[in-house]
């Protein structure tokens, strides 16, 4: 099995240069993938409860509208012919996030829920990313999203404080960390105060 830190860093390296719309589309796919993975494997820890709560709020917001406009959101990934199981396969030696970089996934039905997910996670993460006067993130408030070490720092904080060190969290955490870094942490934290 590959070194877990190397897996996380490899994932970040693979997606760090993607544009935000593609990352938002990928976030939707990764969240659906994680939801299905957690259900199939019967995970019930605090990390799972947190994810399920945040993910669930985005699915119930405007549910009637989304059912009409984007019924894809309520089908399984397999039904949508997206068969890459990111959470399940993350520890496989040839694991890649490349399918999420496919421009065909960058659709309205994936971007808009991705944005809703980012906003929901932003609220949930603000306590560990924005309210730590001496934490790992606070000294880097003006660091930009293309700074690899900054993104890795965010990912480690989220894994430690919000999810867990289990590798199945790596793809989702990496995607969220890159999006947060690209938004700029100062702007990100300022928006959580509103």
Sign of the CA dihedral running 95, 97, 99, 102 = negative
Q: Return the pLDDT at 49.
A: 94
Q: Return the pLDDT at 75.
A: 57
CA dist 75 to 29, 33, 59, 115, 154, Å? 11, 11, 12, 19, 31
C-beta separation of 32 from 77 below 8 A: yes
pLDDT at 132 over 90: no
The ranges assigned to domains in the chain are 4-192
Smallest Cα–Cα separation from 170: which of 158, 153, 188, 182? 158
Smallest Cα–Cα separation from 174: which of 123, 116, 101? 101
Q: What is the pTM of this model?
A: 0.85
100 C-beta neighbours (distance < 10 Å), count: 26
Helix (H, G, I), strand (E, B) or coil at 20: helix
- Kindly state the percentage of the chain with pLDDT values over 90: 46
pLDDT digits (tens, 9 = 90+) for 71-127: 665 555 566 666 678 999 998 878 999 999 999 888 877 888 899 999 999 889 888
Q: What is the DSSP letter of 73?
A: G
Q: Return the pLDDT at 33.
A: 92
pLDDT digits (tens, 9 = 90+) for 154-180: 999 999 999 999 999 999 999 999 999
123 or 138, which is more confident = 123
Least confident of 51-55, 141-145, 160-164, 177-181: 141-145
**Cα 123 from chain centre:** 14
Smallest Cα–Cα separation from 189: which of 121, 135, 120, 141? 141
The Cα 57–Cα 53 span in angstroms is 6
Q: Return the pLDDT at 53.
A: 93
């Amino acid at each position: 099995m590959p070194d877990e830190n190397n897996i996380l860093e490899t994932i970040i390296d693979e997606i760090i240069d993607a544009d935000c719309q593609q990352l938002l589309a990928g976030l939707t796919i990764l969240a659906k993938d994680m939801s299905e993975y957690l259900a199939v494997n019967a995970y019930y820890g605090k990390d799972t409860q947190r994810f399920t709560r945040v993910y669930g709020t985005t699915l119930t917001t405007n549910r009637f509208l989304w059912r009409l406009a984007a019924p894809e959101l309520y089908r399984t990934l397999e039904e949508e012919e997206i068969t890459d199981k990111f959470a399940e396969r993350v520890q496989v030696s040839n694991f890649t996030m490349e399918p999420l970089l496919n421009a065909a996934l960058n659709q309205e039905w994936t971007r808009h829920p991705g944005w809703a997910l980012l906003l929901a996670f932003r609220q949930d993460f603000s306590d560990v990313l924005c309210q730590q006067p001496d934490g790992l993130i606070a000294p880097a408030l003006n660091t930009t999203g293309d700074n690899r070490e900054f993104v890795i720092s965010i990912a480690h904080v989220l894994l430690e404080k919000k999810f867990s060190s289990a590798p199945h969290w790596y793809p989702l955490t990496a995607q969220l960390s890159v999006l947060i870094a690209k938004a700029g942490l100062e702007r990100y934290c300022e928006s959580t105060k509103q």
